[in-house]
C-alpha cells in the first residue's frame, strides 16, 4: 500500500457537519504507511466531537478496502477560536464564550449550564463557568463549592475550581441569604470585572450562565465581549416558549450565533411503572427551533436525580456519559461543541496533511 492510496482512501471519509472529506478539511496528520500497516492521526475540531466513533469506523473501513491489513488511528483535537468581532476584545486565553440563556426563570437554565460545562470537561475540553446571574447566583450550590476568591500575583482574581471547571460567581462574594440590591451601572461594573479581571487561563469554552430575560447583564455581555454563540433553554409549555422566542430574537437582532435550543423538563418517566407523562407538553421546543431555523439540541427529561444532583452539589454529569441520568446532557454538549466548531471554521483553512517517513 502506498501513501497516495492511503490518502485517496481517507479522502472518502466525510465529516458530517463541515461538508467535506477529512483530507480536504485538513483533519488528517502523520500518515505512516509501512507495508500493509497504516498509522494516522485524526485531528478533531473539539474533544467533545459526537462523531468520533463513526469517523474511526469509517476510516478503518476505507483503509481496509484499499488494502490495509492493520490500521492504527490516533485522535487529537484543536478547538478553533471564535471569529474576531469588530470593536470587541476577546478574553485572553479563552477561545469561545458561550452564553446559556432563557426568556424566563424556572426553566432549568442553570442546571443546563452546569451540566453542559461538566460534560464538556469530562469529554476532554478545558472549560470555565461564569455565573452571571448576579441576583440569583445558584452555581456555587449546584457545584458544591464555596469560599472567597483570592487575588493572584498580577492582582487578577483567581477563580475557584470544582469538577475540573474554573468557576466565578457573585455567590462567592455575597454568600448567604443577603439579597443584592444593585442598579444597572453596578451590574455593568461587576460583569466587566468577572470577564476582564479574572484569571481564566487557557480555555476552550467559557460557559456563561446568564440571568433570565433580556436585561442589563445580557446587553453588557453582548456589548463587551465577542460572544461565540448562545444556547437558549426552555420548557415545552406555551408560557415558557413565549419568553424563549424573545430571547432567540434578541440574539438574532444583536447578531450572536444561536447554537440551538434545549427543551428541558420535556417528559417524566415514572420510576415505578415506567409510564411516560408529558407534564409540560412535549415537542414544542423542537417546533420552535424549526420556526426560527436554529438547531434543536435535544430533550432533557424531568428527572429527580437531576434535581438531587443540583441540590447536593453533585451534578448528574459527574457520573459520566454512561449514566442514564446524564446522557441527555452529554449528547447536548457534543452538539454544542460541534456546532460552535462549524461556525468558527466555516471558510477557514486548517492545518496541512503531513506524511511520516
Region 12-28 average pLDDT: 93
Determine how many CB atoms are found less than 10 A away from the CB of residue 85. 14
Residue 356 has pLDDT above 50, yes or no: no
Percent residues over pLDDT 70 in the chain: 94
* CA proximity to 96, closest of 342, 348, 351: 342
Residue 352 has pLDDT above 60, yes or no: no
Mean pLDDT of the residues in the chain: 90
For 209, the grid coordinates are 450562565
Residue 354 has pLDDT above 50, yes or no: no
DSSP letter for each residue of 267-332: -EE-TTT--EE-BTBSSHHHHHHHHHT--EEEE----HHHHHHHHHT--GGGG-TTSTTTHHHHHH
Cα(57)–Cα(71) distance, rounded to whole angstroms?
A: 11
Residue reference for cell 480536504: 24
pLDDT of amino acid 87: 80
Region 13-31 average pLDDT: 93
Quick one: which H or E segment has residue 139?
helix 139-143
This prediction has a pTM of: 0.91
Cα(13)–Cα(9) distance, rounded to whole angstroms?
A: 8
pLDDT of amino acid 220: 80
pLDDT of amino acid 136: 82
Residue 147 has pLDDT above 80, yes or no: yes
Strand, coil or helix: 100: strand
Percent residues over pLDDT 90 in the chain: 70
Q: What is the pLDDT of residues 273-325, one digit of tens each?
A: 989 999 888 889 999 999 999 999 999 999 999 999 999 999 999 999 999 99
pLDDT of amino acid 280: 86
**Residue 146: DSSP 8-state:** -
- Residue 252 neighbours by CB under 8 Å, 6+ apart: 258, 292
Question: Strand 127-131 vs strand 205-209: parallel, antiparallel, or unpaired?
Answer: parallel
**Residue 235: DSSP 8-state:** -
Domains assigned to the chain = 3-77 (3.30.300.130), 97-325 (3.40.50.300)
Residue 236 has pLDDT above 70, yes or no: yes
* 328 vs 155: which has the higher pLDDT: 328
Phi, psi of 98 (to 5 degrees): -120, 120
pLDDT of amino acid 178: 65
Q: What is the pLDDT of residues 34-92, one digit of tens each?
A: 999 999 999 999 999 999 999 999 999 999 999 999 999 999 999 999 988 878 889 99
Region 213-228 average pLDDT: 82
pLDDT of amino acid 355: 39
Phi, psi of 187 (to 5 degrees): -60, -45
For 336, the grid coordinates are 454544542
pLDDT of amino acid 185: 65
The sign of the dihedral angle between the CA atoms of 108, 91, 168, 342 is positive
Q: What is the pLDDT of residues 98-114, one digit of tens each?
A: 999 998 889 999 999 99
Q: Where are the beta strands (DSSP E) in 142-228?
A: 150-151, 157-158, 160-162, 165-169, 205-209
Phi, psi of 153 (to 5 degrees): -60, -30
Question: Strand 165-169 vs strand 127-131: parallel, antiparallel, or unpaired?
Answer: parallel
Cα(177)–Cα(183) distance, rounded to whole angstroms?
A: 19
pLDDT-derived band of residue 357, with 50, 70 and 90 as boundaries? very low
Residue 351 has pLDDT above 50, yes or no: no
Strand, coil or helix: 189: helix
Q: At what angle do helices 304-312 and 109-122 cross, to 10 degrees?
A: 80
pLDDT of amino acid 215: 75
Amino acid at each position: 500500500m502506498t501513501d497516495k492510496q492511503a490518502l485517496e482512501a481517507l479522502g472518502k471519509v466525510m465529516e458530517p457537519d463541515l461538508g467535506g472529506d477529512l483530507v480536504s478539511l485538513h483533519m488528517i496528520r502523520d500518515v505512516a504507511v509501512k507495508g500493509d500497516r497504516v498509522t494516522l492521526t485524526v485531528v478533531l475540531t473539539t474533544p467533545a466531537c459526537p462523531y468520533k466513533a463513526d469517523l474511526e469506523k469509517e476510516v478503518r473501513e476505507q483503509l481496509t478496502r484499499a488494502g490495509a491489513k492493520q490500521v492504527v488511528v490516533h485522535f487529537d483535537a484543536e478547538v478553533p477560536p471564535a471569529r474576531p468581532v469588530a470593536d470587541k476584545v476577546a478574553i485572553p486565553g479563552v477561545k469561545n464564550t458561550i452564553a446559556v440563556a432563557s426568556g424566563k426563570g424556572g426553566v432549568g437554565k442553570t442546571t443546563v449550564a452546569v451540566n453542559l460545562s461538566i460534560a464538556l470537561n469530562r469529554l476532554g475540553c478545558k472549560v470555565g463557568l461564569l455565573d452571571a446571574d448576579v441576583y440569583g447566583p445558584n452555581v456555587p450550590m449546584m457545584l458544591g463549592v464555596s469560599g472567597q476568591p483570592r487575588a493572584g500575583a498580577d492582582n487578577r482574581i483567581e477563580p475557584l475550581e470544582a469538577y475540573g471547571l474554573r468557576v466565578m460567581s457573585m455567590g462567592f462574594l455575597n454568600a448567604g441569604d443577603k439579597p443584592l440590591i444593585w442598579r444597572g451601572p453596578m451590574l455593568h461594573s461587576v460583569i466587566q470585572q468577572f470577564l476582564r479581571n479574572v484569571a481564566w487561563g487557557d480555555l476552550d469554552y467559557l460557559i456563561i450562565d446568564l440571568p433570565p430575560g433580556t436585561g442589563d447583564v445580557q446587553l453588557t455581555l453582548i456589548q463587551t465581549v465577542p460572544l461565540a454563540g448562545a444556547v437558549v433553554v426552555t420548557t415545552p409549555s406555551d408560557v415558557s416558549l413565549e419568553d424563549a422566542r424573545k430571547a432567540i430574537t434578541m440574539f438574532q437582532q444583536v447578531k450572536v450565533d444561536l447554537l440551538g435550543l434545549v427543551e428541558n423538563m420535556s417528559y417524566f418517566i415514572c420510576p415505578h411503572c415506567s409510564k411516560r407523562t408529558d407534564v409540560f407538553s412535549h415537542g414544542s421546543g423542537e417546533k420552535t427551533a424549526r420556526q426560527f431555523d436554529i438547531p434543536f439540541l435535544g430533550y432533557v427529561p424531568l428527572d429527580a436525580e437531576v434535581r438531587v444532583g443540583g441540590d447536593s452539589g453533585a451534578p448528574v454529569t459527574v457520573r459520566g456519559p454512561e449514566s442514564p441520568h446524564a446522557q441527555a446532557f452529554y449528547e447536548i454538549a457534543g452538539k454544542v461543541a460541534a456546532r460552535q466548531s462549524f461556525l468558527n471554521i466555516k471558510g477557514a483553512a486548517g492545518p496541512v496533511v503531513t506524511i511520516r517517513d
